[in-house]
Amino acid sequence: MKLWGGRFSGQTDEYANKFHSSLSFDKRLYKHDINGSIAHAEMLGRQSIITDADAALIVKGLKEILSDIENGALALDSADEDIHSFVESELTRRIGEAGKRLHTGRSRNDQVALDMRMYVKEEIDEICKLVINLLEALLETAKNHTATIMPGFTHLQKAQAITLSHHLMAYFQMFKRDYERLCDCRKRTDEMPLGSGALASTGYPLDRQFVKEKLGFADITANSLDAVSDRDFCIEFVSCLSLIMMHLSRFCEELVLWSSDAFDFIVISDAYATGSSIMPQKKNPDMAELIRGKTGRIYGSLMGLLTMMKGLPLSYNKDMQEDKEAVFDAVDTAKMSLYVFCGMFSSLQFKTENMRKSALGGYTNATDAADWLVKKGLNFREAHEIAGKLVLYAMEKNLRLEELTPEELKKESGIESDIIDDTFFEALSVEKCVDVRALPGGPSASAMEEAIKNAERFVKNVR
């Protein structure tokens, strides 16, 4: 059923009709559309815009349609152009003339804005749960590895010794920000647009506050033009998902590296890896790689939304129909990626001894050598120069700094006094290098204990 046929004497071109139709994808909004219509019908009855009898009949019919869709008795495939016309035509078919009164005081413009806001709020809540699950998994693993030494990297080169716990808690902070961004996005999404009409509201005495409360919104939209033409909440939502995927992608990149022979830090469970069709020995981190790849897919959805909206005059334009597939695909991709990643991460085996051995190489204690010299009275620039010379000498001898003899250290440092003693070697142990970094945010056991307590409080408060 077309909701707009009176003005037209000719038929819509067959291909134009298919091009125009959105039921194939916006049928996902059936629950939101029906619940929004129920609230609207109840309000129309309360305001005596339609009779109480018609309002009750409409509500009963809508609830039956919702039940039939959910139990499979009613298929969402028809010639109707969108979910709104599908529901209204099915309602009219079932209850007759009263069904035609449902759309009083409403436009598809504010109707679809309502549906999308309800959908986005619901999906934010679902994705927040998945992010919290991941935060809990990170936290549980971090608690077990506060003493697991590993190298930290800059430029993908070994830099300084840290712990696995410290590394994992860096990702905890990323996903914590993601959770907070989603919650913040939800606040701006939580405004009820129904009553805005096509663009200029309506002359009917609608009770927008009643509909707002009935549908669980925090507020009503403040401007009818903005309400029907706004898709900021969709763009912000997909932007939040893009950041989540960026963080997942960075983590997946590290898991791919760590599972390689060059690093050999982890074993990925067989449940989250695949093999090669030609090389029998291969075990490929395909789930991590696929999440990394799907990040670009969500970036594409974000860029599509931004581009769609960038040149639109007020108020509603048909371009905005393109919001749905972008949002729906981003939601599906992000939810699946979070679910798979959380399972993959929770099943990882960490090769802790390999991590420690790796931290011993690469002169990750060179900064500590310079710091030790500073504590002996040298300025840092001079100490940095000396430590660099010691590293160069050790590299030529294929030795670690702590393997140099006191005589070699004195000779190569150019320090003639007896400033270098046994405490120099104590300061260069990887455990000491980690333990000395006890500032808040650092990798020491004491700093990590406090960080984990703070993280546990956060998770407890949001769970």
CB atoms within 10 A of CB 73: 10
269 given a catalytic annotation: no
276 given a catalytic annotation: yes
What is the distance between the alpha carbons of residues 102 and 110, in angstroms, rounded to a whole number?
Answer: 14
Buried b (16+ CB within 10 A) or exposed e, 190-210: bbbbbbbbebebbeeebbbee
Which of 155, 167, 242, 277 is flagged as catalytic? 155
Going 269 to 271 to 276 to 279, the CA torsion angle's sign is positive
**DSSP assignments along 119-167, one per residue:** HHHHHHHHHHHHHHHHHHHHHHHHHTTTT-EEEEEETTEEEEEEEHHHH
For residues 31 and 215, the answer to whether their CB atoms sit within 8 Å is: no
Tokens found for residue 405:
């003899």
For residues 215 and 35, the answer to whether their CB atoms sit within 8 Å is: yes
Backbone angles phi, psi at 173, to 5 degrees: -65, -40
Closest CA to 91 of 24, 26, 1: 1
Which of 24, 48, 67, 276 is flagged as catalytic? 276
Q: Cis peptide leading into 315, omega within 30 of 0? A: yes
Q: Which residues are catalytic?
A: 155, 276
